Structure 1
Amino acid sequence: MRARLVALSATLLLIPALLAGCGGDDPSPAAAGAGTDTRGCVSSFDENTDYFPVHSTLEYAKNFTITYEKAYQVVTVKEPYPDGKPESYVLYRCGTPKPELTGDLADAPRVETPITSLYSGSTTHLPLLADLGRLDVLTGVATGTYVINKEVRGLVDAGKVVEYATNGQIDTERVVTGAPDVLMTDGYDVPEFQKLRDAGVPVVANAEWLEGDPLGRAEWVKFMAAFTGDEDKATKAFDKIEADYDAIAAKVPDEKAVPVLVGSMYQGTWYMPSGGSYVAKLLADAGASYPWADSTDAGSLELDFETVFTKAGSAKIWLADGEWKSLGDITGEDARYGQLTAVRDGQVWDNNLVTNADGGNDYRERGVARPDLVLGDLAAILHPDAFPNHTFAFYQQLK
């Protein structure tokens, strides 16, 4: 869909920030403890000590796993990019010996943690770091164009965070010179990644977008925490999101689902979320229905306008994802939109409430990490009487 296509540019985004050390004088709860310094590094190694006293557990995320040994953990991304083979990363506590590995892990990248520098491949990584209080480890972004987070945007604008793929292609020389502890991808694969690996830069896949559950996507905060050493913070942050999400879902009126129209056209094709997608799960939890909810695919369906109009053109509410600011913008782009009931009745809601002049959209940046806020918006649109005085985070009604 349009959001994903625009996000492809945003996802090649890697976000540098001023290196302030990992934790400074406020050591991570997961890293700090007896025999560790303020960063969380082991000052006196004991092979019998468990240096990961807080273990992350996963309930919703299906595309990565975390296992623990005493001085290191193994993070495995099952599908690092569409149809990609699993990739494992061995994360060992600073101050402990680099583990000697055999078998399937013999060639796995070994990363010393907590990391102090990260090149981020997607704006969706930013809220994860923000929730952990670890924006200080950001040291590189592909381009700052789509960044909404004001703190990160300020660092980019001030030249304190480097941009390494401003033209859409990774400048491998700039990345190698920057020598980040980790370059975290956007869940896609490009030839430059192998060049970086060969040059000694650990490339780590973040493929949250392949999760089919909105809370599963949000749970990738625990993936990020494995690298920053903030397991305890991640658990608390996610538990709050989960509780808020469940509380909103519980308030949705137990009545017949509200028919909606979803998505929009891009270059003549209407990208409709399939029934197995995370969008479909959000819609179901918000008390919405749409004609393609029974499809089982996890991605998007590619439809023409006539098909969409026939099956969903009479829906009274349209949940759009265009770049429009008014109803006039919609019909100006394609006059056929004017035939939709939601357009005629003025019930078009677009997820572009917070944007920047360069095309960045907070829904695409922060919405992945905050499904509770997305669900809150959807529930308020569909059931205004049940959610009075709602403050919208991502959606706005077009006039």
Structure 2
Amino acid sequence: MRATRLSVLVAAVAVTIPIAATGCSTAPANDAGSTRDCITDFDASKDYFPDKSTIDEATGLKIEYHNSYQVVTVAHPSQGAPAASYVLVRCGAPAPKLDGALADAPQVQVPVRTLYSGSTTHLPSIAALGAADTVTGVATTGYVSTPEIVERIKADKVREFADAGVVNAEKVIAGRPDVLVTDGNDSPAFGKITGAGIPVIADADWLEENPLGRAEWIKFFAALTGTEKEAANVFNDVKNSYRAVAANLANAPKTNVLLGGISNGTWMMASGDSYFGKLVADAGGTYPWINDPAQGSLQLSVEAVIAKGRLADKWLLSDPTIASLADLYKQDPRYRAFAKPAEQAWNSTKATNAGGGNDYWEKGVLRPDLVLADLAAILHPDLYPNHKFEFYLHLPAQ
């Protein structure tokens, strides 16, 4: 589900943003952003990044350090797009003169003071880094669940910059953020935004099929906000928590599950090598397509799923339109063939807010350990009898 995600370009837009040769203002780009300490006496031999991120789980992110700048490379800024690199320069240092593929790479002064976010999935990471005050714009304010950003929205410190899901270039330019972070889809607005001197860079965490790999993109935001040490601590805690749950279930009997549902006449089923397929496996679940090596979702006939999945023990859904079994059966009468799993049908909509945003797709991206714990409690309730659910709820009959 990508309803809250807007955006990316990048490889298509390569603009160098000028950086002052010495010094930089500590005042925020507008009155809602954060302040920063910049280099005042530049020394070319000094390493200005004492804390450095290492990437262990994510496959689409690379960070290289030089004395006064970092090169952040996103392997696939959008599906099928070539890799894109960004040069993040410590504020106060001179703009590096680069050649080759980096000659025209966008350059951004870091740590950023103000940031516009094209996806709510960015926000928990930024907040966990203690950098919530850098967020001065979000695509759609109503979708936001992260408490620190909600408070900033209420205080009128965050602007909305998308109209019905479409980036409004004029709103971004008027806000003058240090950077616009997008998430995987191009927009005609990006050329105008970069032309106005605002760099546009891509976060592509959603292309990671490994739950921990997706969570590790917190280090992307650490590079922008100068919080590498905090990112390492947060990610290590998430990784250790996730692996502890998985280890607890490693020898548990496998629970047969039914995944997904019907969309446009086709059953959408997570493959075994997909993000959700891996979560199910780590939660001690199994299903007939768990060994399918494809990534993403499989498109199956309803008849094939009835034949292989109608006797599953549990049913895991992620459909914001379903609040009960009655809703399910009204949506498609063929669901009545799944009477057994329907008795234990669970939907990942518990954390949906009044604006339609779902924290499952927000905090759940940074905290796959919490998602895994929910799934573990659904599939193995005997092992987690007192579990407090974060994202999933059991579907009532009516």
Fold match by TM threshold 0.5: yes
Q: Please point out which of 321, 324, 347 is paired with 1:326.
A: 324
Shift in Å at residue 189 of structure 1? 1.6
1:79-115 CA deviation, whole Å, 9 max, x = no partner?
Answer: 0000001110000111111111111110001100000
Pairwise CA RMSD of aligned residues? 1.9
- 1:12 match: 6
Q: Percent identity?
A: 48
Shift in Å at residue 338 of structure 1? 2.1
CA distance in 1, matches of 2:71, 2:231: 17
Pick which of 183-192 and 366-375 moved more: 183-192
- 2:184 match: 187
Corresponding residue pairs, total: 375
Question: Does the Cα contact within 8 Å between 1:17 and 1:135 map onto a contact in 2?
Answer: no
Matches within 5 A, 1:58-77: 58-77=55-74
Q: Please point out which of 146, 149, 155 is paired with 1:149.
A: 146
Matches within 5 A, 1:143-182: 143-182=140-179
SS at 2:229 equivalent? helix
Question: Does the Cα contact within 8 Å between 1:72 and 1:93 map onto a contact in 2?
Answer: yes
Letter of the structure 1 residue corresponding to residue 308 of structure 2:
K
- 1:78 match: 75
Shift in Å at residue 149 of structure 1? 2.2
Structure 1 runs of 4+ aligned residues shifted over 4 Å read none
Letter of the structure 2 residue corresponding to residue 264 of structure 1:
G
Shift in Å at residue 340 of structure 1? 0.6
SS at 1:246 equivalent? helix
Pick which of 259-268 and 136-145 moved more: 259-268
SS at 1:310 equivalent? helix
Q: Please point out which of 299, 302, 306 is paired with 2:299.
A: 302
SS at 2:388 equivalent? coil
Q: Please point out which of 309, 314, 317 is paired with 1:317.
A: 314
Shift in Å at residue 259 of structure 1? 0.9
Question: Does the Cα contact within 8 Å between 1:253 and 1:383 map onto a contact in 2?
Answer: no
Letter of the structure 1 residue corresponding to residue 284 of structure 2:
G
Q: Please point out which of 382, 387, 392 is paired with 1:390.
A: 387
CA distance in 1, matches of 2:220, 2:126: 11
CA distance in 2, matches of 1:57, 1:253: 28
- 2:34 match: 21
Shift in Å at residue 300 of structure 1? 0.9
Question: Does the Cα contact within 8 Å between 2:312 and 2:341 map onto a contact in 1?
Answer: no
Shift in Å at residue 41 of structure 1? 1.5
User: Is residue 2:220 matched to residue 1:226?
Assistant: no
- 2:255 match: 258
Letter of the structure 2 residue corresponding to residue 259 of structure 1:
N
- 2:22 match: none
Question: Does the Cα contact within 8 Å between 1:13 and 1:120 map onto a contact in 2?
Answer: no
SS at 2:149 equivalent? helix
SS at 1:249 equivalent? helix
Gaps of 5+ in 1: 23-38
Letter of the structure 1 residue corresponding to residue 170 of structure 2:
E
SS at 1:224 equivalent? helix
Letter of the structure 1 residue corresponding to residue 365 of structure 2:
V
CA distance in 1, matches of 2:345, 2:31: 41
1:195-217 CA deviation, whole Å, 9 max, x = no partner?
Answer: 22222211110000111100000
CA distance in 1, matches of 2:255, 2:72: 41
CA distance in 2, matches of 1:102, 1:262: 49
Question: Does the Cα contact within 8 Å between 2:319 and 2:347 map onto a contact in 1?
Answer: yes
Shift in Å at residue 387 of structure 1? 1.6
